[in-house]
Chains A and B, each alone.
Chain A
Amino acid sequence: MSDQRLPDFIPWLPFYTLFQKEVRRFLRVASQTLVTPVITAALYLFIFGATLGTRISVLGGFSYAQFVIPGLILMGVINNAFSNAASSLFMSRYLGNIVDLLVTPLTPAQFIMAYTLAAMLRGLAVGVVVWLISLFFATLPWAHPLLVVAMAVLSSFLFAQFGIITAIYANSFDSLAMYTNFILLPLIYLGGVFYPISILPPAWAGLSHLNPLFYLIDGFRHALLGQGDLSFTTAFTVSILMALALFAWAATLIGRSYRLRT
């Protein structure tokens, strides 16, 4: 180290390195992070596509399998984008190795984008595999392919932010599990993955409109099947607004290093 000049600084490298590390982290435990969610989705597909689904009446000209597949794909995207960001960031905080990032020139924007993109990648990867498996049960019309991609990307982004926020507020593994079990799962299951909101009694249908997941799932299904409970514009606009609000929340927390720096 006789050379007193600092090594050349590559401004984007801290972001790329953290992104790469996060991707390698979930690939390293792929049996938990990729295979398990795909098996879960495949079981749902088998139950609702090949067995029970054949006995449920056709909805809006589509089979029940065709109806449920968009919801199952998006469920995979959402669950895994959320889990990746939440578990990775929480573990870093819990084990203390977050200091490895805090002492570096990584900016808050790089920090949040690296965690977000890695989480999105895992969510979307699971979504693609679930879609591929769904081809054994039914084919979908892909009414608006670009909007399908847009809704999937938007959903993964939104739940990556939710994962980051959860990882920051969670104090223990129990509280992390509480966010998943008492917030995320009820929202997903009551958000129209398995049934159209239009078949609910008016009061329950009205309540479902308060569920943010309803807009994501309905928008995604609309883009794939060409019809949904809401207009696509409404679903997409509400989804964009939710994504922006959660991003602003997460960015504020990371920008202030809330619960990251003492």
Chain B
Amino acid sequence: MTTQAAAGIKKYMSVPALAIRDLSKHYDGQPAVKGLSFSIDPGEIFGLLGPNGAGKSTTINMIAGVTRIGGGTIEVFGHDNRRDYRVTRRLVGVMHQEVVIDNFFTIDQTLKFHAGYYGVRVDPAWRERLIERLGLGPHLHKVMIKLSGGLKRRFMIAKAMLHKPRLLILDEPTAGVDVELRHTLWEFVHEINREGTTILLTTHYLEEAEQMCDRIAIMHHGELIALEATGALVERLGTRGVIVHLREPAETLPAELLAWGARLDDGGSSIRLTLPPPRTTGDLLDLLGRYEMPVADLETKRAGLEEVFLQITKAAPANGGE
């Protein structure tokens, strides 16, 4: 490799995979995305989370070119996605939230068309790998209208990856899919990520995001209200709700437990609380043991994304008043 070529590659790797600056979008005067800025490093798995209507899909559609940018800029590996759209669209692969298919054609035909739209000849080895990993082999010559919902989703993943994008966007890829596909998808996403593909994914499931993502951004009312490493976010927000069923009803709670926010329920036969970080279930059992409060049963419930949103949105109310 020449020094010049090596310098070129080094420069390419040093620019963000995605750089969004002050991005905005309005629909009929109503803001959908407001001053959004963040960047994704090459090789990262980045989660963009938020409740319905938060502006995630609008943001993704602006990156992919489906929606016009209202204001601000989007760069993909250093290329402006309006000025250099022929480059950025080849760099990006997107699996949309809605199942989008052309009922006239088979999987095999549509995959060929899709590579052609991107101006590339299909790499046979890569195509075979996608078909094999996504279990599409036996269905290649079926027309789309005859595919099950799960197969349509699998096909959409293959379609998004066929032209070998360097940034793969998965918009709610596991919404309404079975456990098997979910596992297949996440395994494969990890696999291609290890091989260098940067991933941007949206999901409603905090646990999925927690398992998959290096960093998580949370959008609410079109704005970014949290952006941090997954571990730190979960540590900060992923609280655990606990219900302790006591063998014998209690009349009062120790002051230490009251300080954790615990309260008696069911006539004193159970204790309910949300463990304050960094307290663990083990700490709780130790404390109950010390006060000689024998435990009959224990239920724990991980705070879902809804609860995390509630916590965050309480702390950062939207300015737009949507």
Q: Please list the residues of chain A having a beta carbon within 8 angstroms of any beta carbon in chain B.
A: 1-4, 6-11, 13-14, 16-18, 20-21, 24-25, 28-29, 92, 95-97, 99-107, 257, 261-262
Binding site for A on B (CB under 8 A): 9, 12, 27, 61, 64-68, 85-87, 89-92, 94, 96, 98, 100-105, 109, 112-114, 116-121, 123, 126, 159, 163-164, 166, 192, 195-197
Within 8 Å CB of A13, what residues of B?
116, 119-121
28 contacts between A and B (CB under 8 A): A1-B164, A1-B197, A4-B12, A6-B90, A6-B120, A7-B120, A9-B90, A10-B119, A10-B121, A13-B116, A16-B116, A17-B112, A17-B117, A18-B116, A21-B113, A24-B105, A25-B104, A95-B103, A99-B64, A99-B100, A101-B117, A103-B94, A105-B117, A105-B119, A106-B117, A261-B66, A262-B61, A262-B68
Q: Is the CB of B68 within 8 A of A1?
A: no
Chain B residues with CB under 8 Å of A107's CB are 86
Complex formed: what's the CA distance from A86 to B74 in Å?
33
Chain A residue with minimal CB distance to B12? A4
Residues on the B chain within 8 Å of A3, using CB: 164
Looking at A6, A24, A257, which has the most chain B CB atoms within 10 Å of its CB?
Answer: A6
With CB as the reference atom, state the residue of chain B lying closest to A88. B104
B195: chain A residues within 8 A (beta carbon): 1-2
Which residues of chain A are within 8 angstroms of B91 by Cβ–Cβ distance? 6
Please tell me if the beta carbons of A262 and B66 are within 8 angstroms of each other in the complex.
Answer: yes
Q: Please classify the interface of chain A as helix (H, G, I), strand (E, B), loop, or mixed, using the class held by over half of its residues.
A: loop
Measured in the bound complex, the distance between the Cα atoms of B87 and A107 in whole Å is 12
Chain A residue with the shortest CB-CB distance to B143 = A28
Residue of B nearest to A103 (CB): B64
Known: A10-B119, A17-B113, A97-B100. A103 touches B66 (CB 8 A): yes
What A residues does B100 contact at CB under 8 A?
Answer: 95-97, 99-100
Whether B119 lies near A11 (C-beta < 8 A) is yes
Given contacts A4-B166, A105-B89, 11 further A-B contacts (CB under 8 A): A4-B196, A7-B163, A14-B118, A17-B112, A20-B116, A95-B102, A97-B100, A102-B66, A105-B90, A261-B68, A262-B66
**Would you give the shortest CB distance from B115 to chain A, in whole angstroms?**
8
CB-CB under 8 A from A11, the residues of chain B are 119
Contacts of B126 in A (CB 8 A): 1
Measured CA separation A11–B87 after assembly (Å): 11
Contacts of A21 in B (CB 8 A): 105, 113
Min Cβ gap B168→A in Å is: 9
- Within the complex, which residue of A6, A92, A99, A102 is in contact with B164, where a contact is CB–CB below 8 Å? A6
The answer to whether A100 and B121 touch across the interface, beta carbons within 8 angstroms, is: no
| Bound form: Cα–Cα A18–B101 in Å | 15
B61 contact set on A, CB distance < 8 A: 262
Complex partner residue of A2 from B9, B65, B120, B196, CB under 8 angstroms: B196
Interfacial chain A residues near B12, Cβ < 8 Å: 4
Closest A residue to B93 by CB, please name it: A103
A8 to chain B, nearest CB (A): 7
Inter-chain contacts of B163 with A (CB < 8 A):
7
| A1 and B196 within 8 A (CB) | yes
Contact B119 A9 (CB under 8 A): yes
A92 (CB) vs chain B CBs: closest residue: B102
Q: In this complex, what residue of A is CB-closest to B85?
A: A105
CA separation between A92 and B87, bound complex, in Å? 24
Cβ contacts under 8 Å, A104 to chain B: 89, 117-119
Q: How far is the CB of A23 from chain B (nearest CB, A)?
A: 12
Is A18 a contact partner of B117 (Cβ separation < 8 A)? Answer: yes
Residues of B within 8 A of A100 (CB): 100, 102, 114, 117, 159
Tell me the bound Cα distance from A18 to B112 in angstroms.
11
Given contacts A28-B104, A262-B66, whether A99 and B90 have CB atoms under 8 Å apart is: no
**By the criterion CB–CB under 8 Å, are A9 and B117 in contact?**
no
* CA of A87 to CA of B11, assembled, Å: 47
Task: Tell me the minimal C-beta distance from B228 to chain A in angstroms.
Answer: 28
Q: Which residues of A contact B118 (CB under 8 A)?
A: 14, 104-105
Per the bound structure, the CA–CA distance linking A20 and B114 in Å amounts to 12
